[in-house]
A and B are shown apart, each in its own frame.
Chain A
Amino acid sequence: MILEAKNLSFSYQKSRTIFNNVSFRIDAGEILTILGTNGAGKSTLLNCIANMYKPDSGEILLNGKRMSDMDISDVAKLIGYVPQLNSPAYGYSVLEYVVMGRTPYIGAFSTPGAEDYQIANESIEKMDIMHLRDKPYTQISGGEQQQVQIARSLAQQTKIILLDEPTAHLDYGNQFRVVEMIRNLAKEGYSMIMTTHNPEHAFILTGKVAILNRDGMLCVGCAEDTLDAGTLSELYALSIKTKYDADAKRKICIVC
Chain B
Amino acid sequence: MTDTVKKTSALSTLNGKSRSNKWEFALVIAISLISLFVLFTTSLAVGRYSIPFDYTLKILFSKIFFIEKVWGDIQEAVVFNLRLPRSTAAVLIGAALSLSGATYQSIFKNPLVSPDLLGVSGGACVGAAIAILMSAGSTIIQLGAFAGGLIAVGITVSIPTLIRNTSTIILVLSGIVISSLMSSIISIIKFVADTDTQLAEITYWLMGSFASISFIQMLPVLPTIIIPVVIILLMRYRLNVLSLGDMEAKSLGINLGYTRGIFILCSTLITAGCVSLSGTIGWVGLVIPHTARMIIGADNKRMLPVTMIFGGIFMLAIDILSRTITSAELRLGILTGIIGAPFFLFILFKQKEQLK
- A residues with a Cβ closer than 8 A to B are 47, 50-52, 72-77, 79-81, 83, 86-93, 96, 100-101, 103-104, 106, 108-112, 117, 121, 125-128, 130, 133-134, 136, 138-139, 147, 156, 177-178, 180-181, 184
Q: Is B9 an interface residue (CB 8 A)?
A: yes
For residue B138, CB closer than 8 A to chain A, the reply is no
Measured between beta carbons, the chain A residues less than 8 angstroms from B236 are 111
Q: Counting CB contacts under 8 A, is B67 at the interface? A: no
- Residues of B contacting A89 in the complex (Cβ-Cβ under 8 angstroms): 105, 109-111, 243
B101 CB to nearest chain A CB (Å): 14
List B52-89 residues whose CB lies under 8 Å from chain A: none
Contacts of A77 in B (CB 8 A): 253
A50 neighbours in B (Cβ, 8 Å): 250-251
Chain A neighbourhood of B136, CB < 8 A: none
Q: What is the minimal beta-carbon distance from B196 to any residue of chain A, in angstroms?
A: 48
Contact of B251 among A79, A87, A96, A184 (CB under 8 A): A79
Check A103–B2 contact: CB distance below 8 A. Answer: no
The answer to whether B237 touches A126 (Cβ under 8 A) is no
Among B9, B248, B255, the most chain A Cβ lie within 10 Å of the Cβ of: B248
Find chain B residues with CB under 8 A from A83 CB.
245, 247-248, 251
Closest to A88 in B: B244
Query: Are B243 and A180 neighbours in the complex by a CB distance under 8 Å?
Result: no
Give B262's nearest chain A residue, CB to CB: A108
Contact of A103 among B106, B253, B297 (CB under 8 A): B253
Q: 5 closest A-B pairs (Cβ-Cβ)?
A: A76-B253, A73-B253, A81-B251, A104-B253, A90-B298
What B residues does A181 contact at CB under 8 A? 1-2
Are the C-beta atoms of A72 and B354 separated by less than 8 Å? Answer: no
The minimal Cβ–Cβ distance linking B109 to chain A, given in whole angstroms, is 4
B234–A109 touching, CB < 8 Å: yes
Give chain B's interface residues, CB within 8 Å of chain A.
1-7, 9-11, 14, 17-18, 105-106, 109-111, 234-238, 240-241, 243-245, 247-248, 250-255, 259, 293, 297-299, 301, 353-354, 356
Q: Which of A77, A100, A106 has the most CB of B within 10 A?
A: A100
Cβ contacts under 8 Å, A92 to chain B: 240, 297-299
Q: Is A125 a contact partner of B250 (Cβ separation < 8 A)?
A: no
B251 touches A52 (CB 8 A): yes
Contact for A117 among B9, B18, B243, B247, CB less than 8 A: B18
The CA-CA distance from A101 to B106 in the complex, in Å, is 18
- Beta-carbon contact of A177 and B251 below 8 Å: no
CA distance A117 to B19 in the complex (A): 12
* Nearest A residue (CB) for B251: A81
Hey, which chain B residues are within 8 Å of A52, CB to CB?
247, 250-251
CB pair B250–A87 under 8 Å, yes or no, is no
A-B contact count (CB 8 A): 126
List 18 additional A-B contacts (Cβ < 8 Å) besides A80-B251, A96-B240, A110-B237. A50-B251, A51-B250, A52-B247, A73-B255, A74-B253, A79-B251, A88-B109, A88-B243, A103-B237, A103-B241, A104-B253, A112-B301, A125-B6, A127-B2, A130-B10, A133-B10, A178-B1, A180-B2
Q: What's the nearest-Cβ distance from chain A to residue B230, in Å?
A: 10
Do A93 and B11 touch across chains, with their CB atoms under 8 A apart? no
A139:B9 contact, CB within 8 angstroms: no
In the bound complex, residues from chain A placing their C-beta under 8 Å from that of B110 are 89
- The complex places the Cα of A52 from the Cα of B250 at a distance, in Å, of 7
Residue of B nearest to A106 (CB): B237
B251 and A76 contact, CB distance less than 8 A: yes
Which B residues are in CB contact (< 8 Å) with A108? 235, 238, 259
Cβ-closest chain B residue relative to A137: B298
A sample of 28 cross-chain residue pairs with beta-carbon separation below 8 angstroms, ordered by A number, consists of: A47-B247, A52-B250, A52-B251, A72-B250, A72-B253, A73-B253, A74-B253, A76-B251, A81-B247, A81-B248, A81-B251, A86-B245, A90-B106, A91-B298, A91-B354, A92-B240, A100-B240, A100-B241, A100-B244, A108-B235, A108-B259, A125-B5, A125-B9, A133-B17, A136-B354, A180-B2, A180-B3, A184-B2
Closest residue on chain A to residue B6 by CB atoms: A128
A175–B105 CA distance with the chains assembled, in angstroms: 34
Report the nearest B residue to A146, measured CB to CB. B1
Cα distance A177–B2 when bound, in Å? 8
B356: A residues at CB distance < 8 A: 87, 138
In the complex, are the beta carbons of B298 and A130 less than 8 A apart? Answer: no
Question: Cα distance A24–B6 when bound, in Å?
Answer: 37
Q: Which residues of A contact B2 (CB under 8 A)?
A: 127-128, 177, 180-181, 184
Shortest C-beta distance, B107 to chain A (Å), equals 11
In the bound complex, what is the Cα–Cα distance between A96 and B237 (angstroms)?
11
B240 to chain A: closest residue by CB: A100
Q: Taking each of A101, A111, A180, which has the highest tally of chain B beta carbons within 10 Å of its own beta carbon? A: A111
Inter-chain contact A125/B254, CB cutoff 8 Å = no
Given contacts A89-B110, A96-B298, contact A125 B10 (CB under 8 A): yes
Which residues of chain A come closer than 8 Å to B250, judged between CB atoms?
Answer: 50-52, 72
Nearest neighbor of B254 in chain A, beta-carbon distance: A103
Given contacts A100-B244, A104-B252, contact A126 B5 (CB under 8 A): yes
